[in-house]
Copies of this chain bind each other. A is one copy, B any other.
Amino acid sequence: MRIDLPLLERRLDELYAIGAEPDGGAYRPLYGEAWAVACDRVEHWMREAELTVHRDAVGNVWGRLEGSRDAGGGKAVVTGSHIDTVRRGGRLDGALGIVAGLGAVQALEAEYGAPKRPLEVLVVCEEEGSRFNTNFWGSRAIVGAIQSGEADRWRDAAGVTLAQAMRERGLDPSHISAATRTDLDAFVELHIEQGSVLESADVPLGVVTTIAGGVHLQVTVIGRADHAGTTPMDLRLDALVGAAAMVEAIAHCAAVEGRPAVATVGKLRVEPDQINVVPGRVVFTVDLRHAELEACRNLTQGVRRVCETLATERGLGIEITTLHERPPVPMHADIRTGIEAAAAKEDVTAMALVSGAGHDAQILASRCRVGMLFVPSNDGRSHCPEEATDLADLELGTRVLARTLERLAY
């Protein structure tokens, strides 16, 4: 089976040029101009490949190769990824899954002709949550998980509602439910790892066992703002010194738990944030992830407990609220086995690993069998212009994706 590597490279370059930002990277927010151009470009490639193209009610683009037999009740085998990006996003996040998915389907058809089951390439309209304060808009529409009124509720930084943004692209927010698909058999996505587990293990391919569950906490530490010159150290209630102890302890909780547990304090705000005032209040976020529900809950409990203890010891007040919580989603055993078998055919042992990042597969898992394969990210970099993967790894990933789809659809 021949993977057209120059074509794959050219298509990645073309997509990366759409929404290019002056200081590097590309930005293609949901329903924006660059987003629309990118969707048109992929649709054009799909038509060149003689796929039947359909755009659904939220703007997901589907390119379909009909099955030759009514195998599996006509349920479709799907591959693809999201077309939107973060700000200054890289060349591969999302784009790779679309381009490699289309390349794999083209290679399969060239080699074996029509599949038994319908084989589809999916361009998910949104996954990153970089324009509105919600994400998985495309995959949630496919599984019917968008709540009534949501499109009117979410606004971008300019105050435009998601519903308005849809109308600007000719989409009717009252028809969102029409995007629901009940005829999906499997979804397989190739993605970059976005971390350095594969690279540091020197393995070119990973098979995802689980998409980690996660909790977002907001912690408010309450001390007392005092004059930095006149308040002796022993009479202070310094909210930042207390928060600093918590930041260290939180990282320690995840480190002692070991992989794949992670804990990150990503945002932190000091009040009043003046050079000569003892901080009276600090607000920070905690992002916790783990592969198993029980372990995720234990990690969360441990972090809450250590923060509360540190606050009490120092006479500080503390408030901890849960902003967001999602359980881990295991990948389907069939798909995982299929990926492993496909890799073995290419003489590669795929490394089993947990995805710390969220992906559309965790949403689609409620409607079909899902699985993911990862290729290494150089230096673990992602969500930045430095995002890159070796060409040989891109080819291997695309080839194993094709072999996995072959097992499912032929």
A residues near B, CB below 8 A? Answer: 193-197, 200, 212, 214, 216, 225-235, 238, 240-241, 243-245, 247-248, 251, 254-255, 259-268, 270, 273-279, 285, 287, 289, 355-358, 380-384
Interface pair A195/B275, CB less than 8 Å apart: no
A357 near B260: Cβ-Cβ < 8 Å? no
List B contacts of A244 (CB < 8 A).
Answer: 243-245, 247-248
Q: In the assembled complex, how far is the CB of residue A28 from the closest CB belonging to chain B, in whole angstroms? A: 18
Contacts A/B (CB < 8 Å), 19 sampled: A194-B227, A194-B230, A195-B232, A200-B235, A226-B380, A227-B380, A228-B266, A230-B382, A233-B255, A233-B259, A233-B261, A238-B251, A240-B247, A241-B251, A264-B277, A266-B273, A267-B275, A268-B270, A277-B383
Residues of chain B within 8 A (CB-CB) of A263 are: 233
Tell me if A233 and B245 are in contact (CB < 8 A).
Answer: no
Q: How far is the CA of A200 from the CA of B235 in the complex (A)?
A: 9
Q: How far is the CB of A357 from chain B (nearest CB, A)?
A: 4
Given the complex of chains A and B, what is the CA–CA distance between A50 and B227 in angstroms?
37
Q: With the chains together, A229 CA to B254 CA distance in Å?
A: 12
Which of B197, B243, B382 sits near A232, CB closer than 8 Å?
B197
- A239: min CB distance to chain B, Å: 11
Contact A276:B248 (CB < 8 A) given known A231-B196, A232-B259 = no
> With A228-B264, A232-B197 known to touch, is A248 a contact of B251 (CB < 8 Å)?
no
- A285 to B240 CA separation, bound complex (whole angstroms): 12
Given contacts A228-B287, A235-B196, contact A276 B270 (CB under 8 A): no
In whole angstroms, how far apart are the Cα atoms of A355 and B356 in the complex?
A: 52
Q: Are A266 and B241 in contact (CB under 8 A)?
A: no
Complex alpha-carbon distance, A273 and B267, angstroms = 4
Min CB distance A171 to B, Å, is 28
Contact between A230 and B380, CB atoms less than 8 A apart: yes
**A255–B241 Cα gap in the complex (Å)?**
12
Interface centre among A231, A243, A355 (most CB of B within 10 A): A231
Q: How close is A110's CB to chain B, nearest CB, in angstroms?
A: 34
Are B273's CB and A270's CB within 8 A? no
Distance A267 CA – B233 CA, assembled complex (angstroms): 17
Is B262 a contact of A233 with CB atoms below 8 Å?
yes
Contacts A233-B262, A251-B238 known; A227 to B356 CB distance under 8 Å? yes
| A189 and B258 alpha carbons, distance in the complex (Å) | 60
Chain B min CB distance to A26 (Å): 17
Shortest CB-to-CB span from A376 to chain B, Å, is 11
Question: A5 to chain B: closest CB distance in Å?
Answer: 26
Q: Which residues of B contact A383 (CB under 8 A)?
A: 227, 277
A276 proximity list for chain B (CB < 8 A): 264, 266, 287
| B268 and A231 contacting across the interface, CB-CB below 8 Å | no
- Do B277 and A266 touch across chains, with their CB atoms under 8 A apart? yes
